[in-house]
A = this chain, B = another copy of it.
């Protein structure tokens, strides 16, 4: 057996035993300390910096910033234990307490999230239900089997040709009916036209029946605990997708999944994420996890594949073919979900490799396909996914927005969590800057919506030109030249949490331009494909975590979103989890989702050349074609 060493983490004061040669990153993970990483522990993102206070390690430099190197930091993923070690974990390197978008937007600006009446127009027919029945006790002449007698009584309350029952419950049946003195509560799940008995309890004591609606995002996972009797969301929890340690975006995770054992790691990571959220929901609400009998999951195609343990390899390789877009129902036990092992787990159908069930859920929840109004639905993350259509047709596309809007590839980029700069004002005379960070914290970095705001303000103050370059004739100590780049200081180190100057560089700005350009080019490509114009759009629905803090005016200013009246815009929040909840509560809605996915045309942007033309035209502020943005002053 390899030598064992202890690793003590400070300031947490947690010790774990590890084998010689284990990385500090893994040791931290086992100690319950989640470090930042977006490169899959390859040493290239430079986010998992830690300090070795004592002890022997073997370390490789990796891509660690000069400042951190000077202060004696090393990358946790590149540092291997070679003796008993004491490690100090800086706040900057931690995947911190955060705000995950559970449902919608807290009022942040001019637009309030549109409330959706989820069930409107759909019958309340939950996928799962609990039924209490009393069986006639058997006699020598009335000697039907336990299963027969149960079915007869169930059929009186629930129309079904035949009740399926799995081996687990069949093995328990004889004792359950006798323990309850021939009274029994059966949890049923309805799907594919079948009704299955997924749980049995003696007597009538338990009438609770729960389902889970889950949104698995690349970044965050949200779980609703839904009461199937009332349709109410009893409670909800959100958290980071633990797959984050294997990379920030779906592509790096797909690459990881293709490595030996990688798929299993990613599968386990997302299942663990969900199980921890469920654990909290179960404990906080004091429910029996066996009473959770159905789960509906909405996620992008890659996340759905990893959730089910399907290899995502070919999603990344041209011609981008997923294993499936309609996923068979599976048992919770097959996935090691810590609920009733016989619970059914349903995944929203996808449209294509880069148009997933999360968007289908959004279309379902927002009734896009039930309206005469021409609607553009946009969900911006590392991918910008959008659907254009009405009750007659739908066309969709996905463009690679890159990680900039989620803080990736930006010097001081970060997610929308405490300490993230989300608003800035720049005095056009003095170039003095005032920033506003989330929760009023001292600034740590800049989140996506902050970057959009900042870009709009830098342009308005004349600090950058239409190509995103700093105007070289501006004289302010905030604008300075480093060895590699030109940068503008937003907050001086004396006022930041980390003590460093928070800057935005010219490269950062180029990255944001590429992101916003990709999204706008996607919108233009969709419109062109159906020979329509921006002005034909009746309403724009902004979904997802990014929309939560987005300022529409800023977004129009930089040319991210079409220059249409703000009244046409609506924030619809996390429509992925809302759609999942709707399908959980209404079997007709679940069936409608299948139809929606089939009906939605997917425009593969890489298949034609027009997207690249649109993209290049959109790399300006706001656009090369200024007629598209009449309201933006230049």
Contact = CB atoms under 8 A, between A and B. Distances in A.
A502 B105 CA distance: 92
Chain A's interface: helix, strand, loop or mixed, by majority?
loop
A138 B319 contact: yes
A615 B541 CA distance: 83
Contacts of A70: none
A141 B607 contact: yes
Given A146-B324, A324-B147, A310 B141 contact: no
A398 to B, nearest CB: 13
Contacts of A192: 162
Contact of A173 (B167, B323, B325): B323
A98 to B, nearest CB: 32
A84 interface: no
Contact of A141 (B147, B165, B309, B604): B604
A262 interface: no
A139 interface: yes
Interface stretch (A107-115, A272-280, A326-334): A326-334
Interface string A130-143: 00000000111111
Contacts of A607: 140-141
Find the residue from A167, A192, A327, A352 having the highest chain B CB count within 10 A: A167
A146, A178, A327: which has the most chain B beta carbons within 10 Å? Answer: A146
A256 interface: no
A175 B145 contact: no
A416 B143 CA distance: 36
Interface in A138-172: 138-148, 162, 164-167, 170-171
Interface in A454-488: none
Given A143-B604, A145-B321, A604-B140, A165 B328 contact: yes
Contacts of A334: 167
Contacts of A352: 143
Nearest to A172: B311
A169 B146 CA distance: 34
A587 interface: no
Interface in A392-437: none
A318 interface: yes
Given A167-B309, A330-B167, A324 B138 contact: no
* Residue of A142, A173, A324 most packed against chain B (CB within 10 A): A324
Contacts of A322: 145-146
Contacts of A143: 319-321, 352-353, 604
B167 A328 contact: yes
Given A139-B319, A604-B143, A606-B140, A309 B165 contact: no
A174 interface: yes
A597 to B, nearest CB: 11
Contact of A166 (B142, B313, B328): B328
A171 B142 CA distance: 47
A333 B185 CA distance: 29
A328 B145 contact: no
A174 B140 contact: no
Interface residues of A, number: 47
Contacts of A144: 321
B145 A323 contact: yes
A174 B311 contact: yes
B308 A174 contact: no
Contacts of A162: 192
A492 interface: no
Given A140-B607, A330-B167, A145 B325 contact: yes
Contacts of A165: 328
A314 interface: yes
Contacts of A311: 171, 174-175
Nearest to A606: B140
A164 B320 contact: no
A558 to B, nearest CB: 31
Interface string A284-297: 00000000000000
Interface in A327-358: 327-328, 330, 334, 352-353
A170 B323 CA distance: 7
A164 B194 CA distance: 13
A324 B148 contact: yes
Contacts of A324: 145-148, 170, 173
Contacts of A325: 145, 147-148
Interface string A514-551: 00000000000000000000000000000000000000
B310 A170 contact: yes
B139 A310 contact: no
A326 B146 CA distance: 11
Contacts of A314: 146, 174, 178
A308 B166 CA distance: 11
A443 to B, nearest CB: 45
Contacts of A145: 321-325
Nearest to A325: B145
A141, A170, A604 pick with most chain B CB within 10 angstroms: A170
A180 to B, nearest CB: 15
A308 B147 CA distance: 15
23 contacts: A140-B319, A140-B607, A143-B320, A144-B321, A145-B323, A147-B323, A147-B325, A147-B326, A148-B326, A167-B308, A167-B330, A170-B308, A170-B327, A170-B328, A171-B308, A171-B309, A171-B311, A173-B324, A174-B310, A174-B311, A174-B313, A174-B314, A174-B321
The 3 A-B residue pairs with the shortest CB-CB distance, nearest first, are: A147-B324, A140-B607, A140-B319
Given A140-B606, A146-B314, 5 more contacts: A140-B319, A170-B310, A170-B328, A173-B324, A175-B311
